[in-house]
Amino acid sequence: MTKIEQDVVSPFGLHRVVEPEGVLPQAAWRLDPSAPLAADEVRIDVERLNLDAASHRQLLSEHDGDGHAVREAVTWIVRERGKMHNPVTGSGGMLIGTVAETGPASPLGLAVGQRVATLVSLTCTPLVLHDISGWDGLSAQAPCSGSAVLFGRSIAAVLPDDLPAEQALAVFDVCGAPALTARVVTQAAAGGMTTGYPARLLPPAEDATVRSSGGAAGRTARPGTVVVCVIGAAGKSGSLSLAAARSAGAAHRIAVVRSPAERQALLAAGRLDPQPLATAVVVADARDPLLVAEKVRAAGGPADVTVVCVDVPGCEHAAVLATADRGTVVYFSMATSFSAAALGAEALAADVTMLVGNGYSAGHADLALREFRASAGVRSLFGEQV
């Protein structure tokens, strides 16, 4: 008898954890996606997976760019774990599909027949794949057929009518990044420190700047003077974060990209909007902290807010050095080592606040869609990546 049949049902999905017992679905090794639907659950007929960038990059690297082998690896992961949870990167992605069944007590407000995107990670979504043979393994979006389950505390968004499903999925996949960027920049633009501590608890700065032995020059944010740096700015989450920072009042927006081609693409995209996405674009390997810090300073930094949107490891220290003392670093990459980030900041004597982008904040999907629709530049960059 299953836990669901015993009516031991949790809105957090504990009843679908197979092993180890007692942990939440995201932390579990294996989930049970095949048990009968609980009263507060929703079943989705899956039509497309969107693997997160770090996971897809890792799989491609492990299998030497062999798309067939990547497809087989994803098939094995889902069959073994009952969810798409890359055991190397610890990340998953999200999916789109059609609501097939809703439990009578589901609080999600979804109706049978609606096409939706899940806004919770595949690492905590019970999933069965029926057919994924139409996917070449080379792109992060995988057409497929299958079945997934949403819990009472899951999140989903109805797909908008004005965007292709693949495009909407790409926007929803990164919607947490622009939402948190907008919140942090708005707080900074209001005239307070970008750190969350009340100003009265902070020591006074000399001439509006302080310098530690190892960190970048500090900056007290003033209305209209916020400097934002986005590392990995030409990607989906990076371009939306630039747009959100622009809307939130960041006067100077420094974009860090990995190649001259990305720089040209971002500059061209910026010319499509009344105001450019970035006010400065620099080329640097985000794994080279001294080079990034030097180029960001030369472009008008250090930044009050630095947003990390790259999908490779080793970029933690560059973000710290690019940020002013008492500034804020927002890590949105699942390739981030948070121990490296914290210990690196300590070793550099950098007084920065570090935030983990958890992918959810209230209204994040609507904000991302609004920025996407409003910016021809962002849409042009997405067009090259979807």
Cα 358 to Cα 119: distance, rounded to the nearest angstrom: 11
Cα 173 to Cα 52: distance, rounded to the nearest angstrom: 8
pLDDT of amino acid 249: 92
Residues 189-226 have pLDDT tens digits of 886 544 433 332 233 333 222 223 344 544 443 445 89
Domains along the chain? 14-163 (no CATH), 176-383 (3.40.50.720)
pLDDT of amino acid 221: 39
Name the nearest CA neighbour of 154 among 319, 40, 269: 40
pLDDT of amino acid 3: 53
Q: Which amino acid is at 368?
A: A
Residues 332-378 have pLDDT tens digits of 877 778 888 788 888 888 899 998 887 778 889 999 999 999 999 99
pLDDT of amino acid 192: 55
Residue 386: count of CB within 10 angstroms of its CB: 17
Those residues of the chain that have pLDDT short of 50 are: 1, 5-6, 193-215, 217-223
- φ, ψ of residue 170 in degrees (nearest 5): -65, -40
Q: What is the pTM of this model?
A: 0.82
pLDDT of amino acid 97: 97
Helices (H), the chain: 53-62, 67-81, 165-173, 176-189, 236-247, 260-270, 289-298, 316-321, 338-347, 364-374, 376-383
Contact assessment for residue 47 and residue 144, using Cβ atoms and an 8 Å cutoff: yes
Q: What is the DSSP letter of 153?
A: T
